[in-house]
Amino acid sequence: MGSVNSNNTPIVLDGGSSVDILCLDFVKALGIKELRSSSTVINVANGSSAYPVGEVESLSVSLGNRTLSIKNALVFEHLPYDCLLGRNSLHLLGATTDWSEHIWMIDWSPLEVKYTRAPTVPRNDASLESDEDGTSDEEDTDRSLDGYLICLDSVSPNNSNSDAPESFAATPDYADQDRLGDLLDQIAANNLLSTEQRVALTSLVRDNSSVFGTSYHHLSKTNLLELEVNTGEAAPIYRKPHFNLSFKEREYLKNELEQMVANGILIPSTYGANSGWSFPVRFVPKKGGDKRLVTQFMALNAVTVRDTFPLPSINDLLDQLSGASWLSALDLLKGFHQIGVHPNSIDKLTITTPFGNFSYTVMPFGIVNGPSVFSRMISMALGPLHSCALAYIDDVTVFSSSFARHLDDLARVFDRMKECKLTLNPIKCSLATTNLQLLGFTVDVSKGVMPQKDRLACLDSFPVQQTVTDVKAYLGFVGYFRRHIPCFADVAYPLSSLLPKSAAFIWTPDHDQAMSALNRLLKDAVPLRLPCASLPFQLYTDASNVAIGAALIQDSRPVAFLSRKLKQAELNYAIVEKEILAVVYAFSKFRKYLIDQHFDLFTDNNAVRYILNKAEPSARLQRWTLSLQEFTFTVSHISGKSNVVADVLSRYPPPISADISCAEESLYHGLLVMPSLYEPDLQEIFDHLQTGFSSDDIKLKRRASPFVVINHRLHKRIGLRLVLVPPLDERAAILEHIHDGHGHPGVQSTWARLYFRYWWPTSYADVKKHLGSCIPCAIFSPVARQRSLCKI
């Protein structure tokens, strides 16, 4: 006899149960009016399953002279007992069993608990009869297995024809936890799934637990291909032994090396064995505050023969999700490390550390051909599953039209991963959802595609634009989402006008307003509908004196927006020709949507209908008309006031050179280790200030004292001034702007203007070198003539 929440009641102790169980009637008697939903299913001895009606978050249970707090007790209907404590609670009690005497003893109390027939959970809602005295002989106990369900951890079903869904344990074993992480908890918390769907998905994941992994020892090398580094006739490259590392960095590096060597990622090497190839390593900060070990392979990349492999179009990948009702995102565990290195290339991937040299046996980060090789591998792996799975480098998405189909598709993907010896990372996997983060976008099966909100969080803290490079970086970021902004070209025009080399870089309030407007429009971006092949499209086009624009609509919702500025020759076209050019341009860009069906074309110039049907058009119109012959469409006139969707696109868009059409390349280059920004000495100072490790190198601290990192850019204190230390690749443009853009002054004047805002070690020498190579200065500068000697 014990008590639950101070209510006396008989308590059953069951060492065969992995969970604590309560009767629903007893829970009501305790005054508990609300249960938490539960996706747990109890696996029982005959292979079937029992489903709880809910769970109680916390209860106080007293036995003898001790009180326990039990969590997440499961609640069932029509039980022959009020409370059952499983082995987790028995462990807390310190209970032991004497099988010879059929008694359980609790070490903290002289209380003895008589061993009785194990209480059971009924398969159906019907009540079960039990012996009044609570005892049973062996024959009764054996027969009871046919009608009584005893709670166990994991028992394979003995009846393959049972209609009950495949069951799973309430408490996963250690092997599953080690490989699956919290993936099962993620499924249990998925409110989009019913209980039966959670059971089915969890069973699928458990059956395929071997395809998941959480650490180095779960990795394997794929059998699809190997990385081969082709350096041609280049001589081996040897760099300085290693960077100066602090005590914390050395300890961090030592632990990382030990783990990588123990799991076959690295193998010890020597100078003679690796034929002289060697590259230093350093740490770079990761998003979560952790550190990532990277190797400076820039010199190796410079002599490596490029392996080109076309990356898929991001817009094409997103369009494939049309018609999907369920989505799952899969991520490979340390994807690059699952590709082995060809034996002939292992020596070229050698790193040097304070603890010796080590060579990679798997593909490391920072190799120039890494993204291409990985993309080829994942394309080979998922090629047979193109109807239900897509991938962009290491981002894999599984999509299906129904949940049952989605389970089949996931099973096919898991089987394919096993065939290819690939391991998934459960921490970054999201299974069976209707809303997914993909390549910077949020994909919702009902709403469509929109920019990912957390990716836009950096807009408010974007650094001040100080150079053309900064403006290009900003336009590249917002231009990645330009399909979602109907007036992107118009709003971005002040910023894009700074990009031409002939334009002076003068930042004005107009540029601040343009950035603020773009930030606001991007945060409130229009969700784009996923195109449906069975619904008709409507195309709206428009042209102005300087630009053309278009909008593709389906079911009264936008699919994509489009605009560009007219080229120099196109500015001379008649307005009707510009309108037709807008049609031709929109047809070429939206061809994949329009070619297979009849659609409606709306334009606010009524003459377009006549021109397209003209008997004797001009040569230019003939070419354009021929290019439209493969399409089937109806031209309709719409008033200019009504054509707001396309009309706004054609107002003052940026030059063609500012069209950021390949912004997805940033995802590709993000997998490469960026080259050094500064000279070796400055780079060491920058890394010291940027990574945050406390260095014990007194000389490095002293050299770094005049410097500070602001917005990820290095600055130097010179007297009372704080000037920018520009990266290597920006210095030529700065010199060109200061000298060429200010009337070609002399060395001293150019140097004085430069010194006021910038500094780098060789700035004065670079000024003299730039002026010595300046062609206008060489042609128009006065020639110093030697004076003749005067007669005395």
Structural domains in the chain, CATH included, are 2-171 (2.40.70.10), 184-218 (no CATH), 226-444 (3.10.10.10), 482-675 (3.30.420.10), 680-780 (1.10.340.70)
Tokens 């550390």 locate to: 353
Distance CA 143, CA 617 (A): 94
pLDDT tens figures, 560-618: 888 877 787 888 888 888 888 888 989 999 999 999 899 999 887 666 666 666 555 56
Residue bearing the bigger pLDDT, 654 or 397: 397
Query: Chain-wide mean pLDDT for the chain?
Result: 78
Q: Determine the average pLDDT of the residues in 671-695.
A: 69
* Beta carbons of 537 and 596 less than 8 angstroms apart: no
Q: Determine the average pLDDT of the residues in 141-167.
A: 38
Report helix, strand or coil for 694: coil
Position 790 confidence tier, pLDDT thresholds 50, 70, 90: low
Out of 11-15, 621-625, 661-665, 783-787, the most confident range is 11-15
Q: Which amino acid is at 77?
A: E
Model pLDDT, residue 686 = 84
Distance CA 548, CA 567 (A): 10
Residue bearing the bigger pLDDT, 571 or 306: 306
Out of 421-430, 459-468, 638-647, 745-754, the most confident range is 421-430
Distance CA 312, CA 671 (A): 16
Q: Which amino acid is at 80?
A: P
**Residues whose CB falls within 8 Å of the CB of residue 377, separated by 6 or more in sequence, listed in order:** 222, 224, 225, 339
**Residues whose CB falls within 8 Å of the CB of residue 227, separated by 6 or more in sequence, listed in order:** 339, 340, 341, 342, 345, 363, 367, 369, 370, 373
* Planar angle of CA 156, 158, 164, nearest 5 degrees: 85
CA 279 to chain centre: 29
Model pLDDT, residue 736 = 85
Model pLDDT, residue 537 = 94
Model pLDDT, residue 341 = 94
* Beta carbons of 50 and 123 less than 8 angstroms apart: yes
User: Helices in 167-240 by DSSP H: which ranges?
Assistant: 174-180, 183-188, 195-207
**Residues whose CB falls within 8 Å of the CB of residue 206, separated by 6 or more in sequence, listed in order:** 168, 172, 176, 180, 184
Q: What are phi and psi of 168, to 5 degrees?
A: -145, 160
User: Helices in 428-544 by DSSP H: which ranges?
Assistant: 468-479, 488-496, 509-523
Residue bearing the bigger pLDDT, 108 or 621: 621
pLDDT at 732 over 80: yes
Segment (H or E) for 448: strand 448-451
Other CB atoms within 10 A of residue 639 CB = 8
pLDDT at 235 over 50: yes
* Beta carbons of 364 and 385 less than 8 angstroms apart: no
Instruction: Look up residue 209 and give its two tokens.
Output: 């637990």
Strand order through the sheet with 95-98: 95-98, 103-106, 112-114
What share of the chain has pLDDT > 70, as a percent? 78
Residue bearing the bigger pLDDT, 511 or 782: 511
pLDDT tens figures, 627-652: 888 898 888 877 655 554 444 444 44
7 beta partners: 4
* Beta carbons of 319 and 325 less than 8 angstroms apart: no
Position 229 confidence tier, pLDDT thresholds 50, 70, 90: very high
pLDDT tens figures, 434-483: 999 888 899 999 899 999 888 888 887 777 778 888 888 888 888 888 88
Position 430 confidence tier, pLDDT thresholds 50, 70, 90: very high
Residue bearing the bigger pLDDT, 607 or 173: 607
Tokens 């009608």 locate to: 147
pLDDT at 145 over 70: no
Helix axes 575-589, 619-627, angle to 10 degrees: 30
Position 692 confidence tier, pLDDT thresholds 50, 70, 90: low
Query: 52-66, 332-346, 667-681 — which is least confidently predicted?
Result: 667-681
Tokens 């990795």 locate to: 219
Tokens 């070690």 locate to: 761
Concatenating the DSSP letter of every residue in 263-324 gives: TTSEEEE-TTTTTT-BEEEEEEE-TTS-EEEEE--HHHHHHSPP---PPPPHHHHHHTTTT-
Q: Determine the average pLDDT of the residues in 384-396.
A: 90
